[in-house]
């Protein structure tokens, strides 16, 4: 009995020490909150300082640590992925490789950060080759992000297992967040930051340093809008201004398009630049599908003529087609024109925030102040340490024979150091430097060179102290490095900015290619439009049993059917809205286009080519009512249902 009681007490004690009793909703809320924070900060949202997500930063740092720089040989991408996954990023290798590929794609990055050999995908949406087939190295642009990382410029933290160190941010010698943009989705947050021109962004940063109270209007004179690697045209200055001010706004991105003449007085629409982050192949397929479905009637052929010279989509139009109307339709119904929504959510001070461009520039400038300050402190310490050694070497030269004699008489290296310190008052570090030198170097030491080095070191120390003690000089260093970087990487603007958004009002009639068809309308409301070629092959007209024909004859696709019903209503139906079919088919029911009552019947149909004021329509009833109306009054803007033409008596 005592044993059972003792066992029960042990179990109770184990439960108290091991298990925590909490409400399920509290546990879920707390755990999901932690998970969301990790997703936001550690995976999906970029840091405002260097513009990188953690996986991107880890890739660049790992490649730099492996000495795979822009001047080294290419290495297998799989090797880089393994290094990143094993030391810094304990997630799937596929996500690491996808991030590598994206940073190498010149149609997605304003200045690519990775130089990749092999198939790294395409603007058509083709996937890259497997990581075992491609090779990579850092691009010259990435070198600027990593420059001085070995000079204590940024803080380092332990990696996931505590065996390695990784940077929390890169030095970033240019505002990468604005230049290369970012896209990401996390728990409760999403970010979409378009790319901008490197030279303009640097100029804006320098102007912000000189004018801390810089306005949005001043910013727009330097940096007028986004600049995409795919070019194109951005429309809507108000949207750009709103996005730059608040971090959220919408702009229109339009393809760059021109016209060419070909054939028998025909026109060709040529697309040479498409909106950023759109799939060229899908765009071509969408245009061709519109042609096949006869949504737009004037397109003869669509071809993708892109080659190594650049992107080119050719859209051949039929003779007499309205090229302006067709282009407007394509812009409105395909990705030749898209709305791009800024949503500049970033991590600042370990918290997600939506920032405007001016706030992003401020954060970048503050980061550069920290980087340059840390680097200057590092260089100052190095210079002071070296100066101390040089002063010891100069002192050594003046008593060289005695120093050499002391070293030779000493038992070992440690004894030599002790004797130098005790006899000649050298410091430990000076003595270490002397005994480390070989005897032939001791005797051949050039005192003139030492004095020159001492003078240069003293000058550097004065300069470093001046930078550390003067915010003005610190900012001058930042500006000069930005100017030097801008000179080394030339990036002309590729995207045109237009202040106004084009009006894409479309008159469907303008999209219709004028051609002759054979048209049939029946009393029960069945309509069919047949090509003349098909009509000539078979003139056998099929209609439903007990139905009768109220109209048949040749019409133009630009004509309008005006059909009157037994209930005093009329329907207005453009001929091109009727589906094309064969004579043997029953045709399309009228309610597919314009809704009428189940008991309504068509009693008279007119085909109208032009609605004018000089022509009247006379309506009469069997009870003797008469009404005369101008033909132009029967034009309606919406033809999805019938319209009252004349009120009938009960």
Looking at the DSSP bridge assignments, the partners of residue 520 are 528, 552
Per-residue pLDDT reduced to its tens digit, 213-224: 999 999 999 999
What DSSP state is assigned to residue 646? S
Residue 487 three-state SS = helix
Q: What is the pLDDT of residue 122?
A: 94
Residues 6+ apart with CB under 8 A from 487: none
What is the distance, to the nearest Å, from the Cα of residue 140 to the centroid of all Cα atoms in its chain?
Answer: 21
> What value does the mean pLDDT of the chain take?
89
Query: Which helix (H) or strand (E) covers residue 529, if one does?
Result: strand 526-531
**Rounded distance between C-alpha atoms, residue 210 and residue 228, angstroms:** 27
Q: Scanning the structure block, which residue is given the tokens 């282009």?
A: 327
Quote the Cα angle for 581-587-591, to 5°. Answer: 125
Query: Which helix (H) or strand (E) covers residue 483, if one does?
Result: helix 471-488
Per-residue pLDDT reduced to its tens digit, 532-568: 888 888 777 888 888 899 999 999 988 999 999 998 8
What's the alpha-carbon Rg for the chain, to the nearest Å? 39
**Rounded distance between C-alpha atoms, residue 376 and residue 288, angstroms:** 60
Torsion angle, alpha carbons of 338, 304, 226, 247, to 10:
40
Confidence bin at 10 (pLDDT 50/70/90): low
Measured in degrees and rounded to the nearest 5, phi and psi for residue 352 equal -75, 130
Confidence bin at 474 (pLDDT 50/70/90): very high
Q: Which of 398-407, 485-494, 497-506 has the highest mean pLDDT?
A: 485-494
Q: What is the pLDDT of residue 18?
A: 63
Q: 40 versus 214: which is more confidently predicted?
A: 214
**Rounded distance between C-alpha atoms, residue 467 and residue 378, angstroms:** 13
8 A C-beta contact, residue 72 and residue 140: no
Q: What is the pLDDT of residue 26?
A: 66
Query: Which helix (H) or strand (E) covers residue 348, if one does?
Result: strand 345-348
Give the residue among 273, 333, 278, 276 at the shortest CA–CA distance from 306: 273
Q: Which of 465-479, 569-583, 634-648 has the highest mean pLDDT?
A: 465-479
Query: Does pLDDT of 29 surpass 70?
Result: no
In whole angstroms, how far apart are CA 427 and each of 396, 418, 430? Answer: 12, 10, 5
Residue 98: CB atoms within 10 Å? 16
8 A C-beta contact, residue 267 and residue 375: no
What is the distance, to the nearest Å, from the Cα of residue 383 to the centroid of all Cα atoms in its chain?
Answer: 44
Give the residue among 194, 270, 265, 181 at the shortest CA–CA distance from 234: 194
Average pLDDT over residues 64-88: 95
What is the distance, to the nearest Å, from the Cα of residue 638 to the centroid of all Cα atoms in its chain?
Answer: 39
Query: Does pLDDT of 631 surpass 70?
Result: yes
Longest dimension (CA), the chain: 141
Q: What is the pLDDT of residue 520?
A: 93
Classify residue 240 as left (phi > 0), alpha (psi -120 to 50) or beta: alpha
**Rounded distance between C-alpha atoms, residue 618 and residue 12, angstroms:** 100
**Rounded distance between C-alpha atoms, residue 131 and residue 221, angstroms:** 43
Q: What is the pLDDT of residue 350?
A: 87
* Helix runs in 19-148, H state only: 24-39, 54-65, 77-87, 93-104, 140-146
How many Cα atoms are found within 13 Å in the side-chain-facing hemisphere of 406?
Answer: 22
Measured in degrees and rounded to the nearest 5, phi and psi for residue 22 equal -140, 160
**Rounded distance between C-alpha atoms, residue 497 and residue 253, angstroms:** 9
Residue 401 three-state SS = helix
**Rounded distance between C-alpha atoms, residue 79 and residue 136, angstroms:** 10
Weakest mean pLDDT among 79-83, 362-366, 569-573: 569-573
Query: 425-432, long-range: CB within 8 Å, 24+ apart, which pairs?
Result: 426/392, 426/395, 426/396, 427/388, 427/392, 429/385, 429/388, 429/389, 429/392, 430/388, 430/389, 430/391, 430/392, 430/393, 430/395, 430/396, 431/392
Confidence bin at 362 (pLDDT 50/70/90): very high
Residue 343 three-state SS = strand
445 token code pair: 């030491």
Q: What is the pLDDT of residue 372?
A: 97
Catalytic, out of 35, 133, 259, 451: 133
Q: What is the pLDDT of residue 534?
A: 84
Measured in degrees and rounded to the nearest 5, phi and psi for residue 28 equal -60, -45
Angle between helices 198-210 and 357-398 (to 10 degrees): 80
**Rounded distance between C-alpha atoms, residue 42 and residue 29, angstroms:** 19
Q: Scanning the structure block, which residue is given the tokens 């000649």?
A: 424
SS (H, E, C) 354-386: ECCHHHHHHHHHHHHHHHHHHHHHHHHHHHHHH
Quote the Cα angle for 592-598-600, to 5°. Answer: 100
Q: 510 versus 591: which is more confidently predicted?
A: 591
Q: What is the pLDDT of residue 162?
A: 86
Residue 604 three-state SS = strand
- The alpha carbon dihedral of 217, 218, 221, 225 has a sign of negative
Measured in degrees and rounded to the nearest 5, phi and psi for residue 147 equal -55, 135
Q: What is the pLDDT of residue 32?
A: 56
Query: Does pLDDT of 35 surpass 60?
Result: no
Residues 6+ apart with CB under 8 A from 491: 110, 111, 197, 198, 199
Bridge pairing between strands 266-273 and 299-304: unpaired
**Burial of residue 616, with CB atoms counted within 10 A of its CB: 0-12 exposed, 13-18 middle, 19 or more buried:** exposed
**Rounded distance between C-alpha atoms, residue 255 and residue 261, angstroms:** 20
Q: What percent of the chain has pLDDT over 70?
A: 92
Sheet holding 588-589, edge to edge: 549-556, 516-522, 526-531, 588-589
Weakest mean pLDDT among 11-25, 181-195, 233-247: 11-25
Query: Does pLDDT of 641 surpass 90?
Result: no
Confidence bin at 160 (pLDDT 50/70/90): confident
Looking at the DSSP bridge assignments, the partners of residue 301 are 316
Q: What is the pLDDT of residue 36?
A: 54
Per-residue pLDDT reduced to its tens digit, 188-208: 788 999 999 999 999 999 999
Q: What percent of the chain has pLDDT over 90?
A: 59
Asked if 133 is an active-site residue, the reply is yes
């Amino acid at each position: 009995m005592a044993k059972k009681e003792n066992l029960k007490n042990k179990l109770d004690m184990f439960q108290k020490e091991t298990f925590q009793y909490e409400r399920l909703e509290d546990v879920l809320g707390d755990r999901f909150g932690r998970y969301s924070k990790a997703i936001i900060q550690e995976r999906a949202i970029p840091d405002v300082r260097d513009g990188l997500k953690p996986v991107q930063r880890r890739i660049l740092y790992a490649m730099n640590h492996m000495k795979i720089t822009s001047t080294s040989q290419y290495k297998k991408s799989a090797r880089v992925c393994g290094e990143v996954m094993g030391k810094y990023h304990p997630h799937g290798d596929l996500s690491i490789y996808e991030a590598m590929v994206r940073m190498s794609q010149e149609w997605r990055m304003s200045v690519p950060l990775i130089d990749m050999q092999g198939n790294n995908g395409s603007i058509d949406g083709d996937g890259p080759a497997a990581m075992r087939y491609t090779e990579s190295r850092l691009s010259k642009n990435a070198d600027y992000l990593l420059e001085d990382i070995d000079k204590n410029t940024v803080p380092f933290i332990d990696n996931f297992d505590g065996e390695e160190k990784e940077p929390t941010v890169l030095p970033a010698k240019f505002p990468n967040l604005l230049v290369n943009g970012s896209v990401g989705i996390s728990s409760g947050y999403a970010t979409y930051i378009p790319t901008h021109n490197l030279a303009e962004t640097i100029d804006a940063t320098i102007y912000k340093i000189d004018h801390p109270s810089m306005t949005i209007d001043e910013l727009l004179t330097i940096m007028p809008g986004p600049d995409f690697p795919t070019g194109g045209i951005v429309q809507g200055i108000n949207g750009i201004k709103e996005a730059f001010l608040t971090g959220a706004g919408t702009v229109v991105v339009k393809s760059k398009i021109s016209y060419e003449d070909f054939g028998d007085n025909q026109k060709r629409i040529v697309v040479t630049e498409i909106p950023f982050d759109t799939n060229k192949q899908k765009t071509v397929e969408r245009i061709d599908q519109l042609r096949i479905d006869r949504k737009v009637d004037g397109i003869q052929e669509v071809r993708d003529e892109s080659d190594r010279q650049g992107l080119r989509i050719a859209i051949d139009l039929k003779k007499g087609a309205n090229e302006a109307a067709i282009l407007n339709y394509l812009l409105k119904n395909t990705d030749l024109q898209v709305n791009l929504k800024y949503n500049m959510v970033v991590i600042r001070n370990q918290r997600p925030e939506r920032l405007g461009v001016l706030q992003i520039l401020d954060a970048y400038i503050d980061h550069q102040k920290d980087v340059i300050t840390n680097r200057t402190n590092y260089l100052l310490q190095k210079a002071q340490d070296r100066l101390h050694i040089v002063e010891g070497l100069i002192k050594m030269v003046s008593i060289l024979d005695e120093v050499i004699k002391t070293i030779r008489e000493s038992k070992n290296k440690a004894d030599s150091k002790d004797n130098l310190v005790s006899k000649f008052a050298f410091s430990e570090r000076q003595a270490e430097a002397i005994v480390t030198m070989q005897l032939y170097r001791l005797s051949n030491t050039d005192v003139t060179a030492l004095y020159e080095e001492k003078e240069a070191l003293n000058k550097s120390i004065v300069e470093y102290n001046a930078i550390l003690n003067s915010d003005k000089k610190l900012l001058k260093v930042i500006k000069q490095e930005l100017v030097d970087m801008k000179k080394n990487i030339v990036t002309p603007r590729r995207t045109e900015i237009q202040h106004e958004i084009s009006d894409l009002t479309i008159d469907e009639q303008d999209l219709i290619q004028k051609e002759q068809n054979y048209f049939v309308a029946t009393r029960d409301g069945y309509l069919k439009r047949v090509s003349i070629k098909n009509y000539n092959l078979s003139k056998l007209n099929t209609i439903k049993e007990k139905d009768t024909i109220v109209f048949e004859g040749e019409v133009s696709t630009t004509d309008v059917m005006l059909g009157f019903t037994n209930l005093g209503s009329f329907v207005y139906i453009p001929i091109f809205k009727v589906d094309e079919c064969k004579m043997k088919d029953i045709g399309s029911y009228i309610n597919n286009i314009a809704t009428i009552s189940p008991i309504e019947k068509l009693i008279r149909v007119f085909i109208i080519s032009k609605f004018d004021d000089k022509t009247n329509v006379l309506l009469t009833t069997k009870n003797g009512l008469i009404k005369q109306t101008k033909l132009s009054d029967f034009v309606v803007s919406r033809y999805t249902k019938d319209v009252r033409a004349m009120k009938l008596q009960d």
